[in-house]
Amino acid sequence: MLQYNLGTGEYKNWIVSEVAFNPHALGKCEAIMALGNGYMGLRSATEESYVGQVRNLFVAGTFNQFDEYEVTELPNAPDVVELDIWLNGEKFSLEKGKIIHYRRDLNVKDAELVRHIIWENTRGEQFELTFRRFVSLKNLHLIGMKMEIRPLNCDADVHITSGINGQMTNSGAQHFHEGEKRIFDKKYLQLIQTTTESKIDFVVNAVHRYMIDGKEVETEPRMAIDRRKVFIQVSFHVKKGEAFTFEKLANVYTSRDKAYDHDAYSLDVMRQEALNDLKEEAKKGYDALFSENVSEWKKRWEQMNITIESENEFDQLAIRFAHYHLIIMTPAHDARFGVAAKGLTGEGYKGHSFWDTEIFILPFFTYTFPHIARSLLEYRYNTIEGARRKARANGYEGAMYPWESAFTGDEVTPVWGAVDIVTGKATKIWSGFIEQHITSDIAFAVWQYYKVTGDEDFMKRCGYEMLFDTATFWASRLEWNEEKKQYHINDVIGPDEYKEHVNNNAFTNYMAHWNIETAIRYYERLKESDPALLDALHEKIGVHEAYKKWKEKVDLIYLPQPREEDLVIPQDDTYLTKQIIDLTKYKKQTRVGTIFEDYNLEQVNNIQVSKQADIMVLFYLLENKFSQEVKRANWNYYEPKTLHDSSLSLSTHCILASDMDDRELAYQLFEQASRIDLGPNMKSSDHGMHTASIGGVWQSVVCGFGGVRMLDGKLRIHPKLPKQWRKLSFPIYWRGDRLEVTVTHESLVVKKVTNVCDAVTFDVFGTTYEVKDEVTIPLA
Amino acid sequence: MLQYNLGTGEYKNWIVSEVAFNPHALGKCEAIMALGNGYMGLRSATEESYVGQVRNLFVAGTFNQFDEYEVTELPNAPDVVELDIWLNGEKFSLEKGKIIHYRRDLNVKDAELVRHIIWENTRGEQFELTFRRFVSLKNLHLIGMKMEIRPLNCDADVHITSGINGQMTNSGAQHFHEGEKRIFDKKYLQLIQTTTESKIDFVVNAVHRYMIDGKEVETEPRMAIDRRKVFIQVSFHVKKGEAFTFEKLANVYTSRDKAYDHDAYSLDVMRQEALNDLKEEAKKGYDALFSENVSEWKKRWEQMNITIESENEFDQLAIRFAHYHLIIMTPAHDARFGVAAKGLTGEGYKGHSFWDTEIFILPFFTYTFPHIARSLLEYRYNTIEGARRKARANGYEGAMYPWESAFTGDEVTPVWGAVDIVTGKATKIWSGFIEQHITSDIAFAVWQYYKVTGDEDFMKRCGYEMLFDTATFWASRLEWNEEKKQYHINDVIGPDEYKEHVNNNAFTNYMAHWNIETAIRYYERLKESDPALLDALHEKIGVHEAYKKWKEKVDLIYLPQPREEDLVIPQDDTYLTKQIIDLTKYKKQTRVGTIFEDYNLEQVNNIQVSKQADIMVLFYLLENKFSQEVKRANWNYYEPKTLHDSSLSLSTHCILASDMDDRELAYQLFEQASRIDLGPNMKSSDHGMHTASIGGVWQSVVCGFGGVRMLDGKLRIHPKLPKQWRKLSFPIYWRGDRLEVTVTHESLVVKKVTNVCDAVTFDVFGTTYEVKDEVTIPLA
């Protein structure tokens, strides 16, 4: 059971609490309370083990392919968290004895996981246990753990087994060779493992420290090496009322780390440096190391903090929770890695990057940490050769980005999924073959980043090439329809994945058109401003000929128009002709995908039902191509047919509702969206966090209620505060300047706190304002 | 907690019972209560899951090598046993609620595992649950399971998840590609997986059936396919007092099965035949299939049953338990497979065959199921090319059998083991390099089988070639010592593995000498009786030249002699010069290997301490080469220095004590030996049964107390009944005839119940007897 209001004082609305232990919903807190720093993500499995627990430690970018039948995925690294704890001969487990007090807090401000328990064993002996844990944002390799045990009404013989366990798998797939196990000086444990296919070396070290009432005690541990495992066993006698403290520090280095991924790499050097690092850190101890972590987080909070004054205090926590996860999911330290669809919090989606990054997550970084946004876009640039290989393999030109992307940019979408209830076989997943809009989504994100930041340097190094080569892909992808004399895009999946093999998905066609149109515009602009760059790009990707093709085709692309009778834009060529059924049963469900318990995908394909926002996303991205009337008409048609079976759906609908000025509905949708992971559905996050939804929460606040949008290169702020909120403050960065925006029902205050540009201009409901220091604009 | 006296009526002394649930000693009953049929072994993990549980299903001969750094091992096949059971919304787990009644029985007569529980959930609702399970000895592919749930004081909503789970690993090593998951007719579950290196296809099928009060009920299951998993979920409402029955049948086929291991093999054919087999069996249902299993076991019991009338009824159970395990551990169906050191009951020793088979297990089969003994020896013949490769790789000639053997006969001993407490590194395992006595152990077993059975056909097809080529190995292995003018065997490990890199281990030298000597004898005999065979063997392995070398060297082999002063034979060149320490601490321990908590192997190497019987095994095998005085003297010297840290040790010492007529001591050692797995040490069997020890229990009874021995080709029966026993009856086969031997303190009765030979002669304490029908010999 989760509670959101237990933070007090400086931690008010900073704490997510689990107040009762539920052995049947372990996955929930494992995922939502996960720790991380973008370098690695540590799922918050408890120290003691339970059936159904999923221990995960992922290091960004360390992909490995188990075999030729599976796609590459982030391997589950050796576990350092598990402790086997015996108290007076009884194994500590919350499934036995009596829980007198239980609380587990994720403190998103300090990024610490704290569990406090008073437990009575079956003989009536009581123990107070406190577990603390963090993954350092200061030293990205470091994991800190601290356990305090205090016997309350007895003396205690405490016996602990602790070590490094490399028996972990990804649901059975083992990604590592067994490796070398070692104990140095009877103190430092080391496990070195190498991935089986990508041959990435992992060095994992651990060291322990023991205190009684704060005074360090020495002990000679029993040492053991087992299959894929190295560990120690220690025993202590603790008197009634004394506090026994057990500290464990661990670190992880891999040969994919930028510092080691070079020709002169030596495992011997890395293992030595990793061990030395741990030895140095160990001198400081948990508390000092944790302080360093808190300081680092403080800097992030200063840059990104959003204040919401709401009648539901949960809203304030929800945006902070989103912020927290946006930081821990993102490998900001290395432009070779993307954000995974489940972050680093679960095995779901295998650590792959989807359009989730560009359309749902990136806006937060573009507006808040532009250098991280750049890094994420550079990831797409760094993987563009994979996109080119995909295009060539499919008979196209240019860069065709993969639906799912790992380290190289080659397509890594798995081919088989859940059961088909009619055939009894696994269902084929077509996204890797025909869900193609990702390519224009990335182009759009490049453009958005460019217009918001003005980062011409990035554009010259990467951006223009990406814009042009994605346009070239689309130009080659278009299919000429002789009858209609139009270019069509047939046999695709749009954002709505319940419609496979459709022709002319509106989102796909409009975005492809936008992509080519935008490429033409920038080609022509560069022709004037920087012909040398254009020539260099021509050298590389033949951009002059490409331009001709863009021009030739762009105006002939079929863009589905609103129907005359009701202004509904057909989602694709056949959607509107399909069967309409009563969807009430599935809309009511808290679980997603329940429609597949009655229909298989082929059948769902023939029903007017949508998994998620499709045309709505188009309205959001290309806002000023569509009138309010058209938006409203399509909302009325598609919203009832949308199951929101994708976590990408609700936040988009929230923003759209806000755009249509339906603030009450927008707020309702925000409440739903912010509870996808954080809410009471105890199963929703089992396979990991919904990172796009988390990005969507930020977008709902800033782009929805805050009304921030970049339109045609210009900043627009149309605040639509819901009635439940008194005040909303958020920062955005515009062309290098930090703006601090405060919205109330009465006014919009924009403060410019830096001086990169002289002034920033922006639109508020049709009026242009300029801010040099601060400007207050009355609303209503 | 185990109990041995709960069988009543026809099951008296046939039942091993666990009478209390112990979540911290799960491995014990998983291993000792394992089911199997030689084709496969199913570790008896409970249906519901617990932390620390080890689910294992091994199919004999299906070795796979995870990677080049690990040795090949039996892969852990998909699990079909796990059930997730929810009763009125609460998950069934014995760690929660209250256990009102608990008992788990292994019925070794019928080979059924039965668990009977009355469980009260946390709300006071009581349920009676009975679980039954068998692995069929009739249809070797079949596993039957049956669960009955009766709500005692409430109605019950029963919800069960059941299927096939291919996420299993061998302590983290995944041996299978993910494979194909399928549900046929919403009823038959199928998982097809292929091993990663040996490319063996596994087809696993499962089907379910549901009854309420014996009446079949239909239901439409919820079907699911997940990673490496296919399963169903079903729900039933059961009224108070009604019995809900859940039957699950599963079968396993592999492309290593004799029926499929040929060039025309087709997976499609196998999967269809496997499914058809299950469909046919499913028509019969659990009860009928179980009856077929019982009938098959009845035949085995008729052939092997031993009766012990003892003041400790446990002794009767112990020998039956040994019999049971000897049957389930042995792949009697296929001469391409050996017996594993842990049978098919655990991951320990990776399914490899050691000298355990020939010296400890084979005698049971040679005397009781000669055709199975032949099959096991044929396994060694079928793998002789691997032994030849090992010889060549080491610069020797002939056949050098591997210390650990899998499918090909190549050496598969792992190279790294447990922690070295001094260096903190894994300890190097030298057995695969220098523990060489296995080669003469196999030769000895061939000869023993030949003399007991008279199977000349086997000798011509396999036996002579094995005898000769092992002799050739030894001849090439001998090292000339110019100073002593003797052949030495340097740098070996003898049976006592606490002494590595020793010269002239007595056991090794004597057995090598015996091997060459015996080869010479049979060469010369064949020269007379069957020169054509000899020529054929010469063609194949150059036996004529080899013979010359044998002759040249045999008499120059150094055979360590008893010291004049005390008749002690030096175990090796330096043993007697090593340090003597007080071993009391380690002898007292119930755990084995505790000396390594104080010393590393290098240090242990320099102490007069033995892991296990060494010279004692020599006295047992080559009994009439040594006088009683020498035996006694060496016993007195070595026994106090032997920690019995190997399970191979106690039974040998038991037999030796019996040979020396120390019946009290012999009985004490028997009691200890028979409790290695079956006894109260709840950790001893975690990694699997000690199969050699189980064979040793049989040898202790028949060869120890029964006094049966084949000496120089003749049968000897020197019964030494311990005073605790009133009567001992056992069968032995001699030259094709079945003899039924009954020993009391007053007499020895030998009954010949078949008529292959006219009469059987045998020695009893120096007098030769002949039996045609029955002979009674009074014993002083």
Q: What is the pLDDT of residues A476-524, one digit of tens each?
A: 999 999 999 999 999 999 999 999 999 999 999 999 999 999 999 999 9
Count the Cβ atoms, other than its own, within 10 Å of residue B422: 13
Binding site residues of A, as ranges?
Answer: 355-356, 611-612
Position with higher pLDDT, A138 vs B589: A138
A23, A24, A166 member nearest B172 (Cβ): A166
pLDDT tens profile A391-402: 999 999 999 999
- Which phi and psi (to 5°) does residue A700 adopt? -60, -40
CA dihedral sign of residues A361, A367, A373, A374: positive
Q: Residue B780: pLDDT above 80?
A: no
CB pairs under 8 A between A and B: 123
Question: Which pLDDT score is estimated for A597?
Answer: 87
Binding site residues of A for substrate, as ranges?
Answer: 355-356, 611-612
Angle at A281 between CA A278 and CA A282, to 5 degrees: 80
Identify the residue whose tokens are 């760059």.
A533
pLDDT tens profile A658-676: 999 999 999 999 999 999 9
Residue pair A95/A86 in contact by the 8 Å Cβ criterion: no
Strands A714-717 and A760-764, bridge-based pairing = parallel
- Contact state of A424 with B597 under an 8 Å Cβ cutoff: no
A52, A172, A419 member nearest B183 (Cβ): A419
How large is the average pLDDT for residues B129-150? 98
Q: Which residues contact B759 (CB under 8 A, 6 or more apart)?
A: B752, B770, B771, B772
Question: Which pLDDT score is estimated for A421?
Answer: 83
Question: Which pLDDT score is estimated for B494?
Answer: 97
Which residues in A lie closer than 8 A to residue B228 (C-beta atoms)? 171-173
- Contact state of B185 with A49 under an 8 Å Cβ cutoff: no
Most A CBs within 10 Å: which of B54, B84, B191, B421, as the mutation test of the A interface? Answer: B421
Most B CBs within 10 Å: which of A82, A199, A227, as the mutation test of the B interface? Answer: A227
Q: What stretches of B615-734 adopt beta strand conformation (E)? A: 708-711, 714-717, 725-734
Most A CBs within 10 Å: which of B79, B174, B202, as the mutation test of the A interface? Answer: B174
Provide the shortest C-alpha distance from residue A190 to chain B (in Å): 10
- Contact state of A222 with B184 under an 8 Å Cβ cutoff: no
If you ran DSSP here, which 8-state letter would residue A348 be given?
G
Task: Identify the band that residue B682 occupies on the pLDDT scale cut at 50, 70 and 90.
Answer: confident
Question: Which pLDDT score is estimated for B452?
Answer: 98
From first CA to last CA, the distance across chain B in angstroms is 42
pLDDT tens profile A352-407: 999 999 999 999 999 999 999 999 999 999 999 999 999 999 999 999 999 999 99
Q: Residue A26: pLDDT above 80?
A: yes
Strands A83-87 and B486-488, bridge-based pairing = unpaired
Q: Residue B569: pLDDT above 80?
A: yes
Question: Distance of alpha carbon A421 from its chain centroid, rounded?
Answer: 31
pTM of the model: 0.96
A49, A172, A222 member nearest B166 (Cβ): A172
Enter the tokens of residue B626: 């040594």
B497 flagged as catalytic: yes
pLDDT tens profile A59-86: 999 999 999 999 999 999 999 999 999 9
Task: Identify the band that residue A589 occupies on the pLDDT scale cut at 50, 70 and 90.
Answer: confident
Enter the tokens of residue B377: 């020896």
CA dihedral sign of residues A485, A486, A490, A496: negative
Enter the tokens of residue B576: 């007697």
Question: Which pLDDT score is estimated for B587?
Answer: 87
Q: What percent of chain B has pLDDT over 70?
A: 100
Residue pair A540/A465 in contact by the 8 Å Cβ criterion: yes
* Residue in chain A lying closest to B350 (CA): A227
B95, B171, B419 member nearest A224 (Cβ): B419
pLDDT tens profile B528-539: 999 999 999 999
pLDDT tens profile B175-233: 999 999 999 999 999 999 999 999 999 999 999 999 999 999 999 999 999 999 999 99
Task: Identify the band that residue A185 occupies on the pLDDT scale cut at 50, 70 and 90.
Answer: very high
Provide the shortest C-alpha distance from residue B373 to chain A (in Å): 33
Question: Which pLDDT score is estimated for B680?
Answer: 86
Q: What percent of chain A has pLDDT over 70?
A: 100
How large is the average pLDDT for residues B358-386? 98
The CA distance from B121 to B129, in Å, is 12
Q: Residue A680: pLDDT above 90?
A: no
Q: Residue B455: pLDDT above 80?
A: yes
Question: Which pLDDT score is estimated for B609?
Answer: 96
Enter the tokens of residue A213: 């009432």
- Contact state of B178 with A173 under an 8 Å Cβ cutoff: yes
Provide the shortest C-alpha distance from residue B701 to chain A (in Å): 36
Q: Which domains does chain A have, with CATH numbers?
A: 33-303 (2.70.98.40)
- Contact state of A182 with B24 under an 8 Å Cβ cutoff: no
Question: Which pLDDT score is estimated for B593?
Answer: 87
B185, B196, B419 member nearest A223 (Cβ): B419
CA-closest candidate to residue A671, choices A342, A359, A314: A314
User: Please, what is the average pLDDT of chain B?
Assistant: 97
Enter the tokens of residue B636: 């007195």
Enter the tokens of residue B658: 């019996």
Question: Which pLDDT score is estimated for B421?
Answer: 84
How large is the average pLDDT for residues B157-165? 98
Enter the tokens of residue A202: 């992992």
The CA distance from A716 to A734, in Å, is 11
How large is the average pLDDT for residues A546-575? 97
pLDDT tens profile A690-725: 999 999 999 999 999 999 999 999 999 999 999 999
How large is the average pLDDT for residues B70-92? 97
- Contact state of A225 with B181 under an 8 Å Cβ cutoff: no
User: Please, what is the average pLDDT of chain A?
Assistant: 96
Provide the shortest C-alpha distance from residue B660 to chain A (in Å): 41
Which residues in A lie closer than 8 A to residue B172 (C-beta atoms)? 166-169, 174, 178, 227-228
CA-closest candidate to residue A164, choices A273, A278, A52, A265: A278
Question: Which pLDDT score is estimated for A507?
Answer: 98
How large is the average pLDDT for residues A521-536? 98
The ipTM, to two decimals, is 0.94
Enter the tokens of residue A10: 């400086």
Identify the residue whose tokens are 């004490």.
B668
- β-partners of residue A101 are A118
Burial class (CB within 10 angstroms; exposed 0-12, middle 13-18, buried 19+) of A478? buried
Which alpha helices (DSSP H) does A305-430 contain, by range? 314-329, 355, 362-368, 370-382, 384-393
Burial class (CB within 10 angstroms; exposed 0-12, middle 13-18, buried 19+) of A418? middle
